[in-house]
Amino acid sequence: MASNKMRCNRLISPLLSLIVLNELDWWVSSQWETFTPNGVKEGKMKGSKGWLGYARKYTNLKDGYVVRYADDFKIMCRSYTDAQRYYHATVDFLKSRLKLDISPEKSKVVNLRKNSSDFLGFKIKVLPKGKTRYGYIAKTDMSDKAIKKVTAELKAKVINIRKHTTVGRINAYNMAVIGIQNYYCIATNIYNNLTDVNYALLPTFRTRLSCIGSTIPFAETPYEFQQKTVGIKKETKIITVGKMPLLPLTGVHHKHPINYSQDITSYTAKGREKIHKSVQCVETQELRNVMKYRNPNESIEFNDNSISAYLVQQGNCYVMGNRLNVHQMKCIRKIPVGEGGTDKHTNIAFISEEIWRAVMTEDISETIRIMKRFNMDDKQRRRFNRLRENYGLLPIKKR
């Protein structure tokens, strides 16, 4: 019964916190972010000369913003005084209004200029940098607890591969690596953090996989495998078990976290309009024309998935990246059926008719003549040559 209660608590606790602590979010927001004084228009609120700039200097309002996930939240403030005021006011609000007690061990005021603070597996600190807007920039790492957890998780998966060498367990390891990279890639120091984890795993790789695995250069791995990672040199040794390579843990770059707009919501007209604008990359009439673009010589699956492929490309040419003319384009398979290609949308691409002629022309001089008109960069040239190779034609070398 105890274990069942713990399992239920893990499931219900985040849901209850979303409901109960929603009031805390709006209370903190009303203290500064959404506070609207009488007689001040919305357009004159922000900026150094706006009302908020005035309030920061001449009023007793607390300057701060809340960031919350389930029952874990941070209130970011500009000054130590505002942070102390928010701390005591929040403790009082939780106690008097929501009948909740805080954890004294986990709740404290942290000066991010001097110390770091952990939040959702990240360790956050700010460093001085002269030419930024506020003179500081965020430095984020994986937290110490997260590094230990990731190391233990991957060690366990390597041991499982050694005990029972199956495709499923190798895929489970690769999926775990992808999940770790996708979650922690917004940390600015992610490469160094995962390098430390990789060094910690090296003894496990040597002892557990030396009998059943081998190493090959990254350049010799399948193309689909190379697409799942970034920043790996061609000569880097990749561990393979059987014919399946293991993803390198350090094959990740930092990705800038895009700020989430608070206006996006399904419950207001303004929020719904913003949602539709963000996804409207293809015009309705353009999409109708694509839906009419059905090849009678192809399967139903191919024709249906071609619509998905067009939306994924956002109406742009697969090779050049420029906007396509619906009446002057070709829908092709990246890998033909004879070479093992499928009708899935990931194997379908839309390209312009001129690019298609250049891809399928056996006359090298004619292909070069067409390519000169487009002035392709390295990425476009790689995609172009890959299509030619897939269709059994010679790639065009850069001159």
**How large a percentage of the chain has pLDDT more than 90?**
26
Tell me the HSE value of 347 on the side-chain side, using a 13 A CA sphere: 15
pLDDT at residue 2, as a whole number: 43
CB 86 within 8 A of CB 77: yes
Number of helices followed by number of strands (H, E) in the chain: 14, 10
Going by pLDDT thresholds of 50, 70 and 90, the confidence category of residue 198 is very high
Q: Mean of the pLDDT values across residues 48-53? A: 71
SS3 329: strand
Looking at the predicted structure, is the pLDDT value of residue 268 above 90? no
Task: Calculate the CA 141 to chain-centre distance.
Answer: 16
Task: Calculate the CA 228 to chain-centre distance.
Answer: 13
Residue-wise pLDDT for 55-64, tens only, equals 888 888 888 9
Biggest distance spanned by C-alpha atoms of the chain:
81
DSSP character at residue 260 = P
pLDDT at residue 379, as a whole number: 87
pLDDT at residue 3, as a whole number: 46
CB 250 within 8 A of CB 191: yes
Looking at the predicted structure, is the pLDDT value of residue 100 above 70? yes
Going by pLDDT thresholds of 50, 70 and 90, the confidence category of residue 122 is very high
Looking at the predicted structure, is the pLDDT value of residue 347 above 60? yes
CB 352 within 8 A of CB 317: yes
- State the DSSP H helix or E strand holding residue 117, giving kind and residue range, or none if neither: strand 117-119
Q: Which of 118-122, 152-156, 193-197, 273-277 has the lowest mean pLDDT?
A: 273-277
In this structure, how many other beta carbons lie within 10 angstroms of the beta carbon of residue 130?
Answer: 7
Look up the pTM and report it.
0.68
Q: Which residues contact 228 (CB under 8 A, 6 or more apart)?
A: 174, 178, 247, 251
Looking at the predicted structure, is the pLDDT value of residue 164 above 90? no
Residue-wise pLDDT for 29-44, tens only, equals 888 888 878 766 665 5
Residue-wise pLDDT for 270-282, tens only, equals 877 776 665 556 6
Going by pLDDT thresholds of 50, 70 and 90, the confidence category of residue 9 is low
How far apart CA 118 and CA 349 sit, in angstroms, is 43
CB 230 within 8 A of CB 247: no
pLDDT at residue 1, as a whole number: 40
Average pLDDT over all residues of the chain: 85
Angle at the Cα of 100 from the Cα atoms of 97 and 106, rounded to 5 degrees: 130
CB 92 within 8 A of CB 24: no
Going by pLDDT thresholds of 50, 70 and 90, the confidence category of residue 399 is low
What tokens were used for 280?
């409207």
Q: Which of 227-231, 272-276, 306-310 has the lowest mean pLDDT?
A: 272-276
CB 52 within 8 A of CB 79: no
Q: Residue 146: beta bridge partners?
A: none
DSSP character at residue 166 = -
Tell me the HSE value of 336 on the side-chain side, using a 13 A CA sphere: 10
What tokens were used for 231?
């920043």
